[in-house]
Amino acid sequence: MSLVDHCTPLPARAPDVDFTAIKTRQRSTWASGDFAVIGTTLQIVGETLCEAVDLRSGERTLDVACGNGNASLAAARRWARVTGVDYVPELLAKAEARARAEGLAVSFLEADAEALPFADASFDVVLSTFGAMFAPNHVQTAAELLRVCKSGGRIGLASWTPEGFIGEMLGVVGRHVAPPAGLLPPSAWGTREHVAALLGDAASSLAAARKEFSFRYESPAHFIEIFRMFYGPTHKAFAALDDDGRAALHADLEALLRKHARGGRGLVVPGEYLEIVAVRR
């Protein structure tokens, strides 16, 4: 049976989407603030993903849209031969600094997830934690993940789900500052049906598991302050709004945090994500 036999068809997108312009805007967004402040807190997801794909020493491993290097570092700790790519130089500089500090051998390269500069079947394992999901052209991104992965290799992805906290947060931000028209939401990668449809028959198997990462901050106000200063999408959204708009966005984010927060000391908000492990046919 094909993986796509029971998959929801991919939604149509506008035929005139200017992906080049969108990616230019995205680079500026992710370079703003300092994502590494938040990115380093997500390190456990990279470690968990490397375990899920059963990463082995010596395997050629690519971390796509690596950001500040969480999955890259996790793979290097397992003695894999690791390359991390991202199209934001500022994030790569943070990743390189982390690798140097830990004495880990990782090669970092500026590259676009939709046009990876590698030959077909170059890697045994292809990873992405909350990275590839933000590339605007889902179909092209999936095609590149498949192209550079060897037959029998594994593709491991961690993506925020639409109904989880971050999926909802992106929706809240989008209601205040509209995203580019015609794009599929990044959180579509957080559904098994969408990923299975993207990979299609090029994957011989696909396993999906819903997992949680807990955001731990002092309070809702502290979370919003950190994300407003350092997380590109919210940093840019607050900057684009007037005083009334910023107050409204702050209020909506605070309400969302209180909706998802667990009780007890401090702020603990579970963020649901989908972990995918697919085998390249």
Burial of 250 (0-12, 13-18, 19+ CB in 10 A): middle
Do residues 274 and 191 touch, judged by C-beta distance below 8 A? Answer: yes
Q: Look at residue 223 and tell me if it is in a domain.
A: no
What are the DSSP E strand ranges found in 74-202? 81-86, 106-110, 123-129, 149-160
Chain position carrying tokens 């690798």: 99
Per-residue pLDDT of the chain (281 residues; tens, 9 = 90+): 334 334 444 554 445 789 989 989 899 999 998 999 999 999 999 999 999 999 999 999 999 999 999 999 999 999 999 999 999 999 999 999 999 999 999 999 999 999 999 999 999 999 999 999 999 999 999 999 999 999 999 999 999 999 999 999 999 999 999 998 889 999 999 999 999 999 999 999 999 999 999 999 999 999 999 999 999 999 999 999 999 999 999 999 999 999 999 999 999 999 999 999 999 99
Distance CA 186, CA 159 (A): 8
Distance CA 264, CA 190 (A): 29
* Token representation of residue 207: 């396993």
The single-letter DSSP state of residue 8 is P
CATH number for the domain that contains residue 42: 3.40.50.150
Distance CA 187, CA 244 (A): 28
Backbone angles phi, psi at 250, to 5 degrees: -60, -45
Q: Look at residue 12 and tell me if it is in a domain.
A: no
Do residues 205 and 222 touch, judged by C-beta distance below 8 A? Answer: no
CA 239 → CA 33, 80, 103, 230, distances in Å?
11, 41, 38, 12
Range of the domain at 157: 19-171+178-215+272-280
User: How many folded domains does the chain comprise?
Assistant: 1
Q: Look at residue 252 and tell me if it is in a domain.
A: no
Alpha helices by DSSP H, listed for 32-106, are 36-39, 43-52, 70-77, 89-102
Q: Look at residue 111 and tell me if it is in a domain.
A: yes
Distance CA 110, CA 85 (A): 6
Distance CA 200, CA 202 (A): 5
The single-letter DSSP state of residue 122 is -
The single-letter DSSP state of residue 59 is -
Q: Look at residue 103 and tell me if it is in a domain.
A: yes
Q: Look at residue 228 and tell me if it is in a domain.
A: no
Q: Which residues pair with 217 in a beta bridge?
A: 267
Q: Look at residue 235 and tell me if it is in a domain.
A: no
Q: Look at residue 150 and tell me if it is in a domain.
A: yes
Distance CA 194, CA 151 (A): 22
